[in-house]
Structure 1
Amino acid sequence: MKKSLVILTVLSAINFTSFAQTQMIAHRGAWKNTAAPQNSIASLNQAIAQKAWGSEFDVHLTKDDVLVVNHDDEFYGLDIATSTYDELLTKKHPNGESIPTAEAYLKEGLKQQATKLIYELKTNKLGTERTLKSAEMAVALVKKLKADKQVEYIAFSYDACLKLRALDKKAKVHYLNGDKSPQELKAVKIDGLDYHLSVYKKNPNWIEEAKNLKLKTNVWTVNKADDMQYFIDQHIDYITTDEPELLHSILKK
């Protein structure tokens, strides 16, 4: 009897792991329905308040080697890659915030442990050398802040993903560009595929293939209820969205 109970428990655990609930990642923080600027400290705190599994943020390298958080290559008309940090400080978000440094952003996020900090390393417009320098600085910063368990990396640059993996064998690194199969990512020890919804729809077997390879799967940027439900039904691990409130309501059903 005891042996049968143990087997049943193990099988139940395996089944639960295979079909664990999809988790929510707030894209650039929770901003669309909160009036907080994208990628601001305020939007991060809104995502944390909404109990998002993760809050994604985008990091660029300035001309004078400062890592700053912003989605676009420009910050209110100033090109980040060719501007100094002091020059960027002449501009403000509508809520009065200055552009956050990656260090300040991470320190804010590290005040709690429930919401993961999803660090998108942006491809530098000045070339691969600057992108890889950004990767080196990112890993050094995360280690300095002892944030390894709280931070996961994502990047469109395949070279940057490989660099991040080389710099930190234990870091969670996920690829964004959509042009590599699960098998190709597994071969270079990338932890997961983080692809646009159109990529998964063109390659409907990739989610299952990734799971069989023990890779994580994330989809972006999913803002419509029908698409959210489609990927939930596919048992995708994570959905990145500009509509965390909507996704939260669907996941609760």
Structure 2
Amino acid sequence: MKAYFALFFSMIICYASQAQTMKWNQNPVIAHRGAFKKNQYPENSIASLKESIRLKCYGSEFDVHMTRDGIMVVNHDADFYGIDISSSTYKELLAKKLPNGESIPTLEAFLKEGMKQKKTKLILELKPAKTEEEMMKLTDAAVKMVHDMKATAWIEYISFHYGSLKRILELDPKATVAFLASVGSAVSAEKLKEDKFAGADYHYSVYKANPGWFEEAHRLGLTINGWTVNKEEDLQWMLENKADYITTNEPELLFELLAKKGK
């Protein structure tokens, strides 16, 4: 019991000390898989992360899987150039390279790079695993690494797996989590609030089908993020409806629109 309270208070002190030194970029721009498109960087690469930081995005989103030998790696799909991640070792994944010559990034390397600065948040998406057991193993390992590396201030968690997000809050009640969903899988703002989530991270079509989402979520103190918003008219619509965050493959375009609005 003493060890538990010692851990709890050390977490409180860690959060407080980090919060005093962080000044996150004040804009709604989250670069989807990093800022990759304009300069043709590989998605989910260290290069695309660096570019999102250079652009001064609020956040850079990235996707996490676990290999057979327990190494967490950053990649969108469940396979890396035809190599199934969950059934392969990390060493086996090194047989392939990203187009810019990078190897598949480990979560550890990704966090180390992101923690070199204190302006852009790291939006960590836990990708669905093949089994519930594997999903919880990934969740526990990711939270442990974030804490071991003292990266909590940089991290916001997202996932399509509701149970994974609830597990994160069990492990770290101060974590920021948002539920990913599309039409047909979205849950109510009341449910998110009840489960102590920070907000909704839904496909923008969910909000278009129910514009009342914005008012209801904000009334409950929840944030709204929309993905993946790339067309100018859709970006404008999200801005007009006061979305808190917008995840996009076109961060440069979104910054241009914000500049026109004087934001």
Aligned to 1:251: 258
1:35-74 paired onto structure 2 within 5 Å: 35-74=40-79
Aligned to 1:211: 218
Runs of at least 4 residues of structure 1 off by over 3 A?
none
Aligned residues: 232
One-letter amino acid of the counterpart of residue 231, structure 2: K
Kindly state the Cα deviation for residue 35 of structure 1 after the two structures are TM-superposed: 1.6
Kindly state the Cα deviation for residue 118 of structure 1 after the two structures are TM-superposed: 0.2
- 1:84 to 2:81 alignment: no
Aligned to 1:191: 198
Aligned to 2:156: 152
Kindly state the Cα deviation for residue 36 of structure 1 after the two structures are TM-superposed: 0.9
Q: In 1, distance between residues paired with 2:151 and 2:250?
A: 27
Q: In 2, distance between residues paired with 1:188 and 1:244?
A: 31
Kindly state the Cα deviation for residue 63 of structure 1 after the two structures are TM-superposed: 1.1
Q: CA contact under 8 A between 1:24 and 1:52: conserved in structure 2?
A: yes
One-letter amino acid of the counterpart of residue 145, structure 2: L
Q: In 2, distance between residues paired with 1:52 and 1:22?
A: 7
In the alignment, which of 100, 118, 131 is matched to residue 105 of structure 2?
A: 100
Aligned to 1:240: 247
Aligned to 1:123: 128
Aligned to 1:13: none
Q: CA contact under 8 A between 1:22 and 1:239: conserved in structure 2?
A: no
Q: CA contact under 8 A between 2:27 and 2:57: conserved in structure 1?
A: no
Q: CA contact under 8 A between 1:22 and 1:235: conserved in structure 2?
A: no
Aligned to 2:170: 166
Where does structure 2 lack aligned partners over 5 or more consecutive residues?
1-25
Kindly state the Cα deviation for residue 81 of structure 1 after the two structures are TM-superposed: 1.2
Q: 1:161 to 1:110 in 2, by over 3 A?
A: same
Q: 1:22 to 1:50 in 2, by over 3 A?
A: closer
RMSD: 0.9
Q: In 2, distance between residues paired with 1:78 and 1:91?
A: 9
Q: Deviations over 1:220-251 (max 9, x none)?
A: 00000000000100001000000011111001
Kindly state the Cα deviation for residue 216 of structure 1 after the two structures are TM-superposed: 1.0
Kindly state the Cα deviation for residue 29 of structure 1 after the two structures are TM-superposed: 0.3
SS across alignment from 2:170: helix
Where does structure 1 lack aligned partners over 5 or more consecutive residues?
1-20
Aligned to 2:232: 225
Q: In 2, distance between residues paired with 1:207 and 1:73?
A: 33
Q: Deviations over 1:196-229 (max 9, x none)?
A: 0111111211111110110111000000000000
Q: In 2, distance between residues paired with 1:39 and 1:119?
A: 11
Q: CA contact under 8 A between 2:27 and 2:58: conserved in structure 1?
A: no
The two structures have a TM-score, normalised by structure 1, of 0.90
Kindly state the Cα deviation for residue 22 of structure 1 after the two structures are TM-superposed: 5.4
Kindly state the Cα deviation for residue 154 of structure 1 after the two structures are TM-superposed: 0.2
Kindly state the Cα deviation for residue 174 of structure 1 after the two structures are TM-superposed: 0.5
Q: Deviations over 1:13-49 (max 9, x none)?
A: xxxxxxxx85100000011111210000000001101
Q: In 2, distance between residues paired with 1:184 and 1:212?
A: 14
> Higher Cα Rg: structure 1 or 2?
1
Kindly state the Cα deviation for residue 58 of structure 1 after the two structures are TM-superposed: 0.3
SS across alignment from 2:61: strand
Q: In 1, distance between residues paired with 2:71 and 2:204?
A: 32
The two structures have a TM-score, normalised by structure 2, of 0.87
One-letter amino acid of the counterpart of residue 133, structure 2: E
